[in-house]
Structure 1
């Protein structure tokens, strides 16, 4: 199983801190999973111009190919101005409309306000559904008060991240087994 974790903000530290915790949980609990963490703050991503994702080079080509090859994707995103960041929307725009077909996608949301907990429901989930993702229904929402000096200071957050990782792996394995059983029905 190949899992890609994406920290989708180019500013701040909270989303990256949360995604580091996700990465560590994968390493601790599922050591056989092939795991990669990509931080958009460390990459030079081009704006989407309508090309096929295979035509992009550099960091843009690398991340789009990694997303297309992954079995599961964990998207970490902050909420800015009651919306997902433009860097994440651009990343999704680089991919074809059915990019997440047969992929599991889970989310970790960081926000300065508890008022933004529905942004994932109202903005991100519809985009992922349109792109054919199988979405892990429960996401982890982390408020600013749960961070101190670039560290998560609430143990409940770690429990919820562990559950998200477990749900992501179990759902990925389940859908893989379902697809394999369905394909086995055909004799060609």
Structure 2
């Protein structure tokens, strides 16, 4: 099984660290899981203009194909203005309507204030549902204060436990999808 994590931040390391922590937790739970982190800072995803995927640059094409070939996914975003990043939304605009059918799609978010924790549930979750993704219940919101200011590593053991639970639930759900008959 392949788990792909997507960090939708174009600045800073916190979201990438959060997504990477879910990938590492999944690998710790089941070492057979292949993991890959797509950090949008490393790619030049073109602005979606309603054209066929073949009309876009190689980075756009490659990222979309990596997402489509994943067995399951975890998406991370910082919360800006009570919403996910434009970069992540733009990436979603390149995907076909049923991109996440039969795939578990977990969510993590980072933010400055607790007021934004519902963005996962009501905004990103609705987008993933539109693409037919199965959304776990143990998604994780991480306040910026839970990161070490020097290293951007997650300091709170409770957050790391929630990340482990998310990874565990994602694996169980995806195994259930793959093993149903």
The two structures have a TM-score, normalised by structure 2, of: 0.94
Once the 2 structures are TM-superposed, how far is the Cα of residue 139 of structure 1 from its aligned partner? 0.6
Once the 2 structures are TM-superposed, how far is the Cα of residue 13 of structure 1 from its aligned partner? 1.6
Q: Indicate if the aligned counterparts of 1:25 and 1:162 stay in contact, CA closer than 8 A.
A: yes
Q: Indicate if the aligned counterparts of 1:52 and 1:96 stay in contact, CA closer than 8 A.
A: no
Q: Per the alignment, in what secondary structure is the counterpart of residue 87 of structure 2?
A: helix
Corresponding residue for residue 157 of structure 1: 159
| Structure 1: unaligned runs, 5 residues or longer | 182-188
Corresponding residue for residue 86 of structure 1: 86
- The equivalences for 1:52-131 within 5 A come to 52-131=52-131
Corresponding residue for residue 8 of structure 1: 8
Once the 2 structures are TM-superposed, how far is the Cα of residue 56 of structure 1 from its aligned partner? 3.4
| Structure 2: unaligned runs, 5 residues or longer | none
- The equivalences for 1:142-181 within 5 A come to 142-148=142-148, 149=150, 150-178=152-180, 181=181
Q: Per the alignment, in what secondary structure is the counterpart of residue 67 of structure 2?
A: helix
For residues 101-158 of structure 1, the C-alpha deviation after alignment (integer angstroms, 9 at most, x for no partner) is 1111001111110000111112111111111111112211100110112111101111
* Aligned residues: CA RMSD: 1.2
Instruction: Mark the structure with the bigger radius of gyration.
Output: 1
Number of residue pairs matched? 179
